Structure 1
Amino acid sequence: MSLNTKYDICIIGSGAGASPIAHQLSLAGAKVLVLEKGPWLTEKEFFKDELTISVHDAYNPKLINEQHVIEEQYLDENNKPFWHGEKTSDSGWSWWNGNVVGGSSNFMSGYFHRLKPIDFRLKSEFGTIKGANVADWPISYEELEPYYAKVEREVGVSGRVVKHPHQEPRSSDFPYPPVAESPISSWIDKAAADIGYHAIPVPRAILSQPAMGRKSCEYSGYCSSYGCSSGAKGSGRAALLNNAVASGNCTIISNAKVYNIASDENGKITGVHYYDKIGRKKSVTAKIYVVACQAVETSRLLLSSSSKKFPNGLANNSGQVGKNLLFTGGGVGEGDFNYADLTTEKVNQLKVVGPFINRALQDWYQISDKNFNGANNDGQAKGGTIDFLFHQNPIARSRGSQWGTDQNGNDQLIWGEALKQNLKQEFTSYKTLRFEVFNDWLPTDDCFVSLDKEVTDQWGDPVAKVRIGYHEHDLKVGEYLSQKAEKLLEALGASNISSSVSGSPSTNLMAGGCRFGNDPKTSVLNKDCRAHEVDNLYVTDGSFMPTGGSVPYTFTIYANAFRVADKIKAHWQSITV
């Protein structure tokens, strides 16, 4: 039976979870509408301007207009823990990751590690962890693997398969050769081999050669947090939405802030309400609705969309919307290479700017070490990934150079000749090699999204309140991996080696909040990412993930969205006969 609606599919959001749906359904002939809260920018607007990114946060809302409330745990005078919330307009801590068409996929680094089979069965492999809500996925790696391969082809992933102890099964090699590598990559390869490690090339969602109407990487040295001016980076906009629009079946409305999803007494969605660019209220209807606003904002929207059937928020009679929010565990570390201690050849190699280091370690993706004291005290645990990188951007590198010490050893601001000398030392005497550790952020009852009862955005709608509790086990794994990374820096001959692990989350890596599963009492979505309680609702951003794995999430979000696109296509075709 054909329904009399203008659109077949309405998608809220336009990033990695949304763009595969728009792409696949529009190419299948469905009339698709994409509602994106931010503007529609292209390569012409993506300048390599560090002040724009690092200081002005140009691609996100001003916090005075749109913000969050973040709850952190503190200790009172009696050493008892309590939770305290602070507005991000007061703290300056932005939780926005790219409010533009294509979402945060425009600004990712594009480290595209797959999850591994063990990530899909964390509870079965390692058992219950006290204080954590660990669950197995309702699908397997084998079910998702063809879609990882599809992302590599459709989005464009450059890489090279190298066998290592935790290499996941693959149905094909990468479709594009690796991007150009820094000379330092060979240093890491040799040092790793010398101490028994297995350095592996990092797959990147960056084209190493022109393809699909897009240019290849231009090696400007500005990638992470920056929009790609060449189109080489596999953002949802450059790789998928442009083609979806070109099909004639996809309409994108930018500057459209959705504030409510309406539903009838049977729980079926009847329409979406949004504010347009100048603040007018608009509505739209479709046959099938897809929410993909990134984890926090997806939970916020569903919680804000209450009705008679869903008094606590759309699809939330289980009380699970917003629960089990995920970030990524881990930390960072670094070591310095002093030019005075190196040959001229090695100094020149260190000074090469542009090509990527593209090296990672996954030797401890699964920890089996009797000296590791994890949550279950058996030496067994999920481990993680270590990635190596340089911070090329001069403003980021120079931060801290403005400080010196007075006669008493106290910090003081400096200027003039003293500042010049600090900057000269920073840029001409050494270079710092850094590493990032990625490990699981275990889901807990103390990490979730709710609505704040007092703070509203510029339209008067309640903002999301985010509690960011973490599990102590995450820190233990992060510290274990950091120690392994430090040993590689030692083997490389670095000095001033240090690392730190924190329970404070990295806000560009978020998932969970609408986990999928087989039991409607403990999950929001079924295995197809269709809401248990709402027949015409799907959630396709990272919200579906019950656990996050030990790699950045974007690759998996893309792959799952392509998988769910097939399910939505079948659903649409069944109601359009």
Structure 2
Amino acid sequence: MVYDAIVIGSGAGGAPIAYTLAKQNKTVLVLEKGPLIRPQTATALSQFKRDELIADGTEKVLKMKVANSGQPFFSSHVEPDINDEPHIYNDNGKDKATIEGYTAQCVGGGTNLYGGVSLRFTPRDFKLQSFNVNRNLKEDPNGDVKREARDWPFDYNVLMPYYEKTEYLVGLNGTAAEQLKPWNVDNYLKPLKPNPISEYAFKGMVALGQQLNPGSPAKPYRTPLAVITEDHKPSGRKVPVNAEALKTSYVNRYGDPLGMKSSTWVSLLNPIYDLPNLKIKPNCTVTHLESKDGVVNKVHYLDPAGNMHEATAKVVVVACSAIESVRLLKISGMLSDDFNKRINQNQLLGKYFLTHAFGGASGIIPGRVDKSVALDSDWATDLSNNDKFLLDNDLWAGSTIYNNTSDSALPISLFRTIGAMDLDTLWLGLQYDKDLRGDRITKFLDDNFGRRISISFMANQVPQFNNRIELHPDVKDKWNRPVAYINKGWHPHDKYLMDKIAEQCRQILSLAGVTVEGAGGSYQAVNGIVRIANHVLGGARFGTAENDSVLDPNCRAWHFDNLFVTDGSFMPTSGSGNPTHTIEANSFRVADHILSIL
């Protein structure tokens, strides 16, 4: 059978395309590396129930020959065993393995485990080359921003209707008022009541906004979250009679067994699962693509039993998340001369890998609240995301700031994150603090439990040619394929930007009466070189010139007739907020283009 489309990956980059094409009676095959995990029903429990016990909780030991061999690591049942499929990164000349960069391997991808923060980018995020063309910035002595920044091949207005479509079909709650983005249709569901601890974030955001711009202060708004709070007609999901009962804090880093978190599985794929023209194959690993004369004519994949299969389609969409998509394209180039000369025609594949410049501040409130009665975030602000702030502070790009309401909501999450900033360092603070025992554990809980509040930011990272994804020359996965090799560093302006925005986060807490314990950027973390937060972007950026990009404006690979890449790897800049919403919106946009050519 020749499908109209094969979609590799079922998360934010793949599911909107599968949904759009299948709804228009196109034949679609979705190949997903991980399992299909359903929400619980009246007769069956969801496998995501297990996440409450084992997510990031089962210790394994790194066994391969790398610099950090022998160290423990932690992963859930929807992330790979690091000994089977590591990501390797270069840490000052030493190769180390990491679990960072994997979102989730299951139908719905990372949208099952993320915190659900779903911010639109600002119009400026699409035009950072134009915004900076006449500026000489601090901490950019070589003019890297001018040289390397790229405008997107379209502006905010092109993506706006697809933002609206995503907000409606996926199901987001939040408020549009006070966001520094143009708005036509407000499809947000009504947010739930904020947790009492978030009042400190709200007060601090208001106070800082008044200080920075007394005449027209940026005011907080309810953080857009991919969690339904009312019955959701497009997906058929219904909330409990008491919607407030949804506030359980099991959102960030956990799968939602109730199906209220708007993963692409429950919101897009499950409603069309029974269509005869749609086939979803979980537990199937795509090993490589094959092409002839610029047409991808074979997709090779392993079924759950390890048997090799081939599939053919008029259009092939790669959406494995950026690191793994680049890796798949590079492996395909190793095995096919036609594929290699086309995908590597300008040697940019894997270059300009991006994450986010991010960080924040944390502290202790005077009293204590029940933080388990929360979602992930209650309040956000664009006070550091307007032109005046950027010009006053000599920054190339802005940031959205929001509070992490559910951080350390339960004792297990409090202990596993002591001193941790990424997946590689979970539990290590507790494990190596030999003084944390007996009465000191009681004191630690008394001082921290229900009292910790943090404020976070996400900002554009300066694109750098040398930030790249390659294939490791020696380390192979369990299928004997080269694993991804991450070479990444922070630009001096990234560090300057992180310091500036972290100071805003510190001031928000301080102005609200919070005892601030720390503030800073992710580059300062123990594992700061590889710090990704699973915001894996770039590596196959799109653009209008084929000598300067891997993909054309519709995310089609240059010199291929039918190959599209639609996860975060298409981004030439990383945006001023969490990327999932923009990946989904762009995927809906590309889906309309694919429909026009089928």
Q: Secondary structure at the residue paired with 2:329?
A: helix
Whether 1:180 and 2:193 are equivalent positions in the alignment is yes
Q: Secondary structure at the residue paired with 1:62?
A: coil
* Rounded Cα–Cα distance in structure 2 between residues aligned with 1:267 and 1:21: 22
Residue 148 of structure 1: aligned partner: 163
Question: Which of these residues, 16, 30, 33, is aligned with residue 29 of structure 2?
Answer: 33
Distance 1:474 1:258, change over 3 A: same
Deviation per CA, 1:516-548, whole angstroms, max 9, x where unpaired? 111111111111111111001111111111111
Distance 1:239 1:424, change over 3 A: same
Question: Which of these residues, 429, 443, 446, is aligned with residue 463 of structure 2?
Answer: 443
Q: Secondary structure at the residue paired with 1:477?
A: helix
Distance 1:317 1:161, change over 3 A: same
Question: Which of these residues, 14, 17, 20, is aligned with residue 18 of structure 1?
Answer: 14
Letter matched to residue 387 of structure 1: Y
Q: Secondary structure at the residue paired with 2:276?
A: coil
Deviation per CA, 1:446-484, whole angstroms, max 9, x where unpaired? 211111111111011111111112211112111111111
Residue 485 of structure 1: aligned partner: 505
- 1:308: Cα distance to partner? 2.2
Equivalent pair of 1:222/1:393 in contact (CA under 8 Å): no
Whether 1:535 and 2:541 are equivalent positions in the alignment is no
* Rounded Cα–Cα distance in structure 2 between residues aligned with 1:454 and 1:140: 42
Distance 1:372 1:330, change over 3 A: farther
Write the mapping of 1:253-402 to structure 2, written as runs, cut at 5 A: 253-264=281-292, 266-306=293-333, 307-311=336-340, 315-339=343-367, 347=368, 350-351=369-370, 353-356=372-375, 357-366=377-386, 368=388, 379-390=394-405, 391=407, 392-399=409-416, 400=418
* Rounded Cα–Cα distance in structure 1 between residues aligned with 2:127 and 2:100: 33
Write the mapping of 1:217-232 to structure 2, written as runs, cut at 5 A: 218-232=246-260
* Rounded Cα–Cα distance in structure 1 between residues aligned with 2:255 and 2:429: 34
Residue 489 of structure 2: aligned partner: 469
Equivalent pair of 2:360/2:506 in contact (CA under 8 Å): no
Q: Secondary structure at the residue paired with 1:506?
A: coil
Letter matched to residue 70 of structure 1: Y
Whether 1:554 and 2:580 are equivalent positions in the alignment is yes
Residue 47 of structure 1: aligned partner: 49
* Rounded Cα–Cα distance in structure 1 between residues aligned with 2:197 and 2:111: 27
Equivalent pair of 1:403/1:413 in contact (CA under 8 Å): no
Q: Secondary structure at the residue paired with 2:545?
A: coil
How many aligned positions are there? Answer: 531
Residue 415 of structure 1: aligned partner: 437
Deviation per CA, 1:252-283, whole angstroms, max 9, x where unpaired? 1111111110011x121111011111211111
Q: Secondary structure at the residue paired with 2:127?
A: helix
* Rounded Cα–Cα distance in structure 1 between residues aligned with 2:456 and 2:270: 32
Whether 1:87 and 2:97 are equivalent positions in the alignment is yes
Equivalent pair of 1:514/1:545 in contact (CA under 8 Å): yes
Whether 1:431 and 2:431 are equivalent positions in the alignment is no
Letter matched to residue 66 of structure 1: E
Residue 80 of structure 1: aligned partner: none
Distance 1:84 1:187, change over 3 A: closer
Deviation per CA, 1:103-122, whole angstroms, max 9, x where unpaired? 00111111111011111110
- Point out where structure 2 has 5 or more consecutive residues left out of the alignment: 40-45, 59-74, 211-217, 420-426
Residue 214 of structure 2: aligned partner: none
* Rounded Cα–Cα distance in structure 2 between residues aligned with 1:262 and 1:288: 13
Distance 1:499 1:418, change over 3 A: closer
TM-score relative to the length of structure 2: 0.84
Deviation per CA, 1:354-394, whole angstroms, max 9, x where unpaired? 23451112111135469966xxxxx3531211111231132
TM-score relative to the length of structure 1: 0.87
* Rounded Cα–Cα distance in structure 1 between residues aligned with 2:236 and 2:96: 46
Whether 1:524 and 2:550 are equivalent positions in the alignment is yes
Which portions of structure 1, spanning 4 or more consecutive aligned residues, are displaced by more than 4 angstroms?
Answer: 369-373, 399-405
Tell me which structure has the larger Cα radius of gyration. 1
* Rounded Cα–Cα distance in structure 1 between residues aligned with 2:402 and 2:231: 26
Equivalent pair of 1:327/1:510 in contact (CA under 8 Å): yes
Percent of residue pairs bearing the same amino acid type: 32
Equivalent pair of 1:107/1:224 in contact (CA under 8 Å): yes
- 1:416: Cα distance to partner? 3.6
Residue 104 of structure 1: aligned partner: 110
